[in-house]
Structure 1
Amino acid sequence: MAIELKMPALSPTMEKGTLAKWLVAEGDLVKPGDMIAEIETDKATMEFEAIDEGRIASLVMAEGTADVPVGTVIATLAEEGEAAAAIVPAAAEPEVAKVAEPVADAPPARAPAPAPLITPQHAPDVSAPRARLSPADKVRVSPLAQRIAEAKGISLAGITGTGPNGRIVRADLGVGPLVAPAAPAPVVTVAASAPAAVIAPPPAGVPVVTEKLSSMRRTIARRLTESKQTVPHFYLTARCNLDPLLKLRGELNAGLAARGVKLSVNDLLIKAMALALIEVPDANVQFGGEELYRFSRVDISMAVAIDGGLITPIIKDAGALSVSAIATASKALAAKARDGKLAPEEYQGGTASISNLGMFGIDEMFPVINPPQALILGIGAGVEQPWKVDGQLGLATIMAATTSFDHRAIDGAVAAQFMAAFRAIVEQPMLIIC
């Protein structure tokens, strides 16, 4: 009996995905655990594994097919010993699985892509070996490394992979590391994708290269547009003296060097933010229409730049973690994010976000709230300037911290209490390790 392979739901909120690449061909034998396709979601490119054994009878959807609804048949599998000629997809129209909410702008059901259906007249000869590479013989390369190699014209031939099972990863290409953490670019994405705006063509006579937006970039544009249109933002800025925190960081790193742990300023700020939310629990909330959700745990989403967009892996229960544990977790999550290997539970959720542009020398930023969260903390660079130190005028390293709040869930007084608590912890950093 034919086995239908359907577009998988790779996360609880996934409604559709892009069939980025087939890793098998019609007639190939597969077994459970074999990678058969790369699926691009709005967050990452993930691999689709076979769970049954058999021979690929038909690739219903062609590579590059975008916005394929979850549950749509994308291929059929003939069980071992079954004649491939008898395998025809059960329906010409995609079978769409039910999702939690209807999608108003979902595209109409697509007809099968150009890859031909298997019929008795042109069925492959399953008894004869095909002159195709099996999945085991193909070059094993991560989706990110594949894209980088194609963009930079790097040949994968002769490259020895250092990833799992000899897989080629980004580090094997000799490409420098991507920049992390970074923040959303609200002005660009909102202006480019606001549904009510008139999308004008580029000015005539100016050289231009037109690129199709990736699934991730489209999702960023849509979510941030919705955030600015539906969430009433208000902003509070607190200027903090960073010198005590920088001094403590130096002392802690000297003691942690033997363990191979190095704390970043961002690690300490994540801890300070979590402690401030614990001190002011009315800020650790989320608007729920007719309800208000109050969280008893602080999960901090940190913005990390990746190839083609950004993602927000989560430091769970940050208030209860030591700063060394936060440093270890943030480093591991950032690396997985750049390699496209984050599991859905590692980037979905979070009770508040932090976005740090201080390493780029940005004095101050006003970040866009990441729905459905109710606040996001934006961090600027530490700038040496005149400041009152120990009762006298002197020089100090001052950092501007600006938080965007959802006024439906958080009032001005509560927001001010949170900012005051955050500044007090940053300027008395022993509170972080006590």
Structure 2
Amino acid sequence: MRAAIAAAISRSKREIPHYYLAHGIDVAAARDRLTEVTASRPPEQRLLLGALFIKATALGIRRFPEFNGFFAEGSFRPSPALHAGVAVTIRGGGLVAPAIHDTADLDLDTLMARMRDLVARVRAGRFRGSEIADPTIAVSRLGERGVETLFGVIYPPQVAIVGFGKAIDRPRVSEGRVVPRPTVTLAADHRASDGHRGVLFLAEVDRLLQRPVAL
């Protein structure tokens, strides 16, 4: 596992001209929406903030397709499908990012159920090879592990990875209160996009998370 990961990451850093961006997001509205929707549900049916992050990323990609697809044979090919690869740690070491298919088309409850199923099967070693081969963009959510900011390495032939850090109450006041602001990051391939478009994409993810009802 470590040898395979090292080979893929070495290829990525050798071949892909990465650029990196970071953007702080106010998630107070998203947290309030989760509390409203899931407070009366049993734990196994509750929505987590990670589901909103993945859905907002998928919807944002619809406006910025240059982050969704593959660079192969000297050119970028945007993918007509949108399959977000969700990073999951494997028991005993290692990391995989199997796909949740047609991510943007799923409602939040279905997306959350798919995430739970994926994590359970990865931990049990029962994920499918097609799920590893299918992602068109990757999403990593190490915030649940306590990490504030993460900068991912693109898994070739993909051209981008989005990372979400921990939501922390930082000294920024919005409407008279201190709000939790996780950092969302983007690592992208300069052959397929540029920093200006990356900034606009992260701003779109931010805008979507301010309107969680629409997710």
TM-score of the aligned structures, taking structure 1 as reference length: 0.47
Give matches, 1:308-327, under 5 Å.
308-327=93-112
Q: Which residue is 2:172 aligned to?
A: 387
Q: Which residue is 1:275 aligned to?
A: 59
Do 1:286 and 1:292's aligned partners in 2 also have CA atoms closer than 8 Å?
Answer: yes
Q: Which residue is 1:404 aligned to?
A: 187
Q: RCO greater where, 1 or 2, for CA within 8 Å and sep 6 or more? A: 2
Query: Which residue of 17, 25, 30 maps to 1:245?
Result: 30
Q: Which residue is 2:207 aligned to?
A: 424
C-alpha displacement of 1:283: 2.5
Structure-2 separation of matches of 1:259 and 1:385: 28
Relative to structure 1, the CA distance from residue 228 to residue 388 in structure 2 (aligned partners, 3 Å threshold; closer, same or farther) is: same
Q: Which residue is 2:197 aligned to?
A: 414
Q: Which residue is 2:155 aligned to?
A: 370
Any stretches of 5+ residues in structure 2 without a counterpart? none
Runs of 4+ in 1 over 6 A off after TM superposition: none
Relative to structure 1, the CA distance from residue 264 to residue 275 in structure 2 (aligned partners, 3 Å threshold; closer, same or farther) is: same
* Secondary structure class of the residue paired with 1:249: helix
Structure-1 separation of matches of 2:17 and 2:66: 18
C-alpha displacement of 1:430: 2.1
* Secondary structure class of the residue paired with 1:381: coil
Larger-gyration structure (1/2): 1
Do 2:151 and 2:187's aligned partners in 1 also have CA atoms closer than 8 Å?
Answer: yes
Q: Which residue is 1:263 aligned to?
A: 47
Structure-2 separation of matches of 1:290 and 1:373: 13
C-alpha displacement of 1:271: 0.5
* Secondary structure class of the residue paired with 1:237: strand
Structure-1 separation of matches of 2:67 and 2:6: 26
- Superimposed CA distance per residue, residues 85-122 of structure 1 (whole angstroms, 9 cap, x where no aligned partner): xxxxxxxxxxxxxxxxxxxxxxxxxxxxxxxxxxxxxx
C-alpha displacement of 1:288: 2.2
Do 1:285 and 1:409's aligned partners in 2 also have CA atoms closer than 8 Å?
Answer: no
C-alpha displacement of 1:431: 2.4
Q: Which residue is 1:349 aligned to?
A: 134
- Superimposed CA distance per residue, residues 128-151 of structure 1 (whole angstroms, 9 cap, x where no aligned partner): xxxxxxxxxxxxxxxxxxxxxxxx
Give matches, 1:18-417, under 5 Å.
216-254=1-39, 257=41, 260-306=44-90, 307-390=92-175, 394-417=177-200
Do 1:313 and 1:334's aligned partners in 2 also have CA atoms closer than 8 Å?
Answer: no
Do 2:76 and 2:191's aligned partners in 1 also have CA atoms closer than 8 Å?
Answer: no
Any stretches of 5+ residues in structure 1 without a counterpart? 1-215
* Secondary structure class of the residue paired with 2:8: helix
Q: Which amino acid aligns with 1:286?
A: F
C-alpha displacement of 1:386: 2.2
C-alpha displacement of 1:258: 6.4
Number of equivalenced pairs: 214
TM-score of the aligned structures, taking structure 2 as reference length: 0.93
Structure-2 separation of matches of 1:292 and 1:412: 16
Structure-2 separation of matches of 1:376 and 1:325: 23
Structure-2 separation of matches of 1:405 and 1:423: 18
C-alpha displacement of 1:266: 1.0
Do 1:377 and 1:401's aligned partners in 2 also have CA atoms closer than 8 Å?
Answer: yes
Structure-2 separation of matches of 1:264 and 1:397: 15
* Secondary structure class of the residue paired with 1:241: coil
Structure-2 separation of matches of 1:378 and 1:270: 10
Identity of aligned residues (%): 29
C-alpha displacement of 1:334: 0.9
Q: Which amino acid aligns with 1:425?
A: L
Do 1:301 and 1:354's aligned partners in 2 also have CA atoms closer than 8 Å?
Answer: yes
Structure-1 separation of matches of 2:49 and 2:43: 18
Structure-2 separation of matches of 1:385 and 1:291: 41
Structure-2 separation of matches of 1:364 and 1:228: 20
Structure-2 separation of matches of 1:353 and 1:245: 22
- Superimposed CA distance per residue, residues 170-213 of structure 1 (whole angstroms, 9 cap, x where no aligned partner): xxxxxxxxxxxxxxxxxxxxxxxxxxxxxxxxxxxxxxxxxxxx
Structure-1 separation of matches of 2:202 and 2:66: 12
